[in-house]
Structure 1
Amino acid sequence: MVMGNSHMAMNRTNKLAVIASHCQDSQFLYPSKSWRGGDGGEDASSSGDGKYELLSVANNLIAEEMRNIMSKTEVRGNSTDTLLAGSLAKALCYIHRVSKDMEVGREIKSRILVIKAAEDCALQYMNFMNVIFAAQKQNILIDACVLDSESGLLQQACDITGGLYLKIPKKIALAQYLLWVFLPDSDQRSQLLLPPPVHVDYRAACFCHRNLIEIGYVCSVCLSIFCNFSPICTTCETVFKIPLPHMVKAKKKKLKTST
């Protein structure tokens, strides 16, 4: 909330969207379905403490939606995978809709910040990479603030789109890192002393087992990646011609003529 409030307070034309991603679904926290362009109900007019009304509405809606998600979500097992690719796709769709509603001649500079505490899921590799390249085509930066283990997928996303990747060393300082590293836009970042870029893990996930691999086999037709060789591509069903070793013909022995 501190990050969102600071972003909207930087400029009155700034817009904010917050999406929650968990193991079963991804949904908007703000703006939510119950909020329509400033219709925040009784909270919209509650400015007795001198707070900017829009910030008060956003904080209340985000907190309410978070409580609803936590009460409806069923935790199964110890898996921490989230539907991150779906959340990023929703963010791109929202940005596209906002840009379409802009006046003619006005442009919007959009960026996506991912605050991640879950582990990577190789099953989402294809969808994730499609979202990354879609963001790159639309000139949308993807930043990543990682709280737990390193994320190779987000490293690739930040490197491809020109965003920042940071695994914070201390979770207690999360708000400080958000305001220092991720709040400034791309133009302001060039004037700041930011953490050095990390080494990007560009391993790809195989299509057969969804495991991250360093060396594999690539289909020359559909570019699918496999960890083991197969004479038939399971994606496009292309049959590969396997070169057979040349058979060396045995030399015929010359018959010795008797004299």
Structure 2
Amino acid sequence: MSLTDDATSLLIIIVDTNPVWWGLSQGKGDGQLTLSQCLDNVLVCANSHLMMNHKNKLAVIASHTNASHFLYPRPDLDQRTTEGTETANGQTVPGDGRHELFSIVNESIRKQIKELVLSGLCGELFSDSLLAGSMAMALCYIHRLEKECVAGEEMSARILIVKGSEDNPAQYMNFMNVVFTAQKQNVVIDACILDNDSGLLQQACDITGGIYLKIPQMTGLLQYLLWVFLPDKSTRDKLTLPPKAQVDYRAACFCHRTLIDVGYVCSVCLSIFCHFSPICSTCQTTFRFLGPPKSLKKKGKRSAVS
């Protein structure tokens, strides 16, 4: 279905803010971006999306090591957008809702990222991010905006994931449920990969009709965001974009995180294992194995009574 020029386009950007991966990436030498520099590039892409149409909408979600947080929009900033911008001396200057919106978006996201990183240093850190939870939050936000649309108004939604940390096979079931829900809601999922290839995101992009791209150089992140991921799905057909990556639909086992051709599946939680185990390590289900059925003895024919 082709959208008109007055249709609303919603872009939800999920940024991987895992401090473990960002800290390790700085030790790989030159050509690596910091979290602050990556955020600047993402904000340029976000502002460009808002400038393309006055009806375009934006949301930014941080996929952290132990939680997912909305960076924008924030309920406490919606009132500032409509009433005006507060200056340093406490006075409120009326705004036209255009250029002021860009500054409010940038200030809100930078402030929330700083608080998120500082608060996360006190807790336990993991090498992966809660990507499935962030995608579920994005779909819930899309569903809410679709219900708020007036009759006859069109809205297209897509999710852009900027990710660098590794996958977590424990999120496989939740991740695939989110992907098939997005396919049912006609939501496109795009993936901009900074470092580690993601087999899960390759399947998500292929299922929903999105673009999966592992950028060759992190210093060119902004160019790839504006060239590949800024155009919507209807515009991409007219552009010369990078070829689609070969998708590997093999499942990864939950025990060793390796791709397998044949494995064992738990009948309760559908976890996948490469070796047989009588107890599922995911849901702790114990499997009972029954022996072969006993053969029934054939009854002999009774002799006829004379």
Q: Distance in 1 between matches of 2:110 and 2:127?
A: 22
Could you list the per-position Cα deviations for residues 84-129 of structure 1 after superposition, in whole angstroms to 9, with x for gaps in the alignment? 1111111111111111110012221100000001111112111111
> Which of 217, 231, 238 does residue 191 from structure 1 map onto?
238
Which residue of 2 is the match for residue 31 of structure 1?
73
What one-letter code is carried by the residue in structure 2 that aligns with 1:152? G
TM value normalised by structure 1: 0.82
Could you list the per-position Cα deviations for residues 55-88 of structure 1 after superposition, in whole angstroms to 9, with x for gaps in the alignment? 1211111111111112211177884311111111
Alignment of 1:1-259 (within 5 A): 1-36=43-78, 38-39=81-82, 41-42=85-86, 45=93, 52-74=99-121, 79-206=126-253, 209=255, 211-214=257-260, 215-218=262-265, 224-230=271-277, 239=288
**Counterpart secondary structure, 2:156:** coil
What one-letter code is carried by the residue in structure 1 that aligns with 2:210? G
Larger relative contact order (C-alpha < 8 A, sep ≥ 6)? 2
Which residue of 1 is the match for residue 20 of structure 2?
none
Q: Which has the larger radius of gyration?
A: 1
CA change 1:226–1:41 in 2 (3 A) is same
What is the count of residue pairs matched by the alignment? 242
What one-letter code is carried by the residue in structure 1 that aligns with 2:86? E
Contiguous gaps of at least 5 residues in structure 2: 1-42, 294-306
**8 Å contact kept, 1:122–1:210:** no
Coordinate RMSD, CA, aligned: 2.9
TM value normalised by structure 2: 0.70
Identity of aligned residues (%): 54
**8 Å contact kept, 1:21–1:27:** yes
**Counterpart secondary structure, 2:75:** coil
**Counterpart secondary structure, 1:180:** helix
Which residue of 2 is the match for residue 249 of structure 1?
none
More strand by share: 2
